[in-house]
Amino acid sequence: MSEVLLVVGAGAGLGASIGRRFAKEGFKVALASRSLEKVSAICETVSGAQGFSCDATKEDQVKVLFDQVTASLGTPDVVVFNASGRVRKSILEIESDEFIQAWMAACHGGFLVGREAARQMTQKGVGTILFTGATASVKSYAKSAGFAVGKFGLRALAFSMARELGPKGIHVGHIIVDGGIRAKHRPEDPKVPDKWLNPDDIADSYWHLHSQARSSWTVEIDVRPWVENF
């Protein structure tokens, strides 16, 4: 019986690449985002993937998502939280609701998705939960308060869950994506090859974390292009 991957916050870049990487290994793939229309288009690039609509900041929608995925494909064996919220504003200008929404998207959504995944996986005593972090997970820049607080919080959540769930057979990992991911608006620079993170290469790291033997589980890794300062 095929295993099931669920990616929450799936976009055309990293989310799609993670889906393709696990599909290559025989996984049934569920991709979820706020827009069913957008995620349905992404599913066309991932063999056999099914799309679902979910706002990860809404508790009722997260619960419905897991019910729908389980009914359609089976209980998820691997869950990836890939959503985030970003507001580029000075601390002098950012409004309270903007700050809260950024934190909700990056951190609270991770809590809701991670908790629901853990509730299902602990019943089986096996599973993998992976959280997508960023440079902001460990380094906060100016005009990035909401995003940094959300990503710092998501990292704290991942470590807390790893310590609690590891002994229950659940592998929890946090991936710090330290750099810009290659996209249409970031074409390859002929003078500096591999200036941007290739989402397919990042996806290999997600697969590596999932496939680790439990005698040597990794809680956190960071990935960055070779020219990135850190």
Confidence of residue 18 (pLDDT cuts 50, 70, 90): very high
Distances (CA, A) of 4 to 22, 43, 75, 168, 179: 9, 15, 7, 20, 29
pLDDT in tens, 60-96: 999 999 999 999 999 999 999 999 877 889 999 999 9
Residue 226 has pLDDT above 80, yes or no: yes
Tell me the domains of the chain and their CATH numbers: 4-223 (3.40.50.720)
Q: Quick one: pLDDT band at residue 187, thresholds 50, 70, 90? A: confident
Kindly report the number of other CB atoms within 10 A of residue 151's CB atom. Answer: 31
pLDDT tens for each residue of 86-132: 788 999 999 999 999 999 999 999 999 999 999 999 999 999 999 99
175 CB contacts (<8 Å, ≥6 apart)?
A: 130, 131, 132, 133, 202, 205, 206, 209, 220, 221, 222, 223
Q: If you search the block for the tokens 């299902």, which residue do you land on?
A: 120
Residues 175-190, mean pLDDT to the nearest whole number: 88
- For residues 4 and 28, the answer to whether their CB atoms sit within 8 Å is yes
Q: Counting Cβ atoms within 10 Å, is residue 182 exposed (0-12), middle (13-18) or buried (19+)?
A: buried
What pLDDT score does 138 carry?
A: 95
pLDDT score for 130: 98
- Segment 47-60 mean pLDDT: 97
What pTM value is reported for the model? 0.96
Residue 184 pLDDT level (bands cut at 50, 70, 90): confident
CA dist list (Å): 56 to 53, 73, 94, 115, 185: 9, 20, 23, 12, 26
pLDDT at 190: 86
Look up residue 191 and give its amino acid.
K
Please tell me the predicted confidence (pLDDT) of residue 108.
97
User: For position 13, what pLDDT does the model report?
Assistant: 94
The pair of three-digit structure tokens given for residue 203, joined into one six-digit string = 């996806």
Nearest-angstrom CA–CA distance, 222 and 176: 4
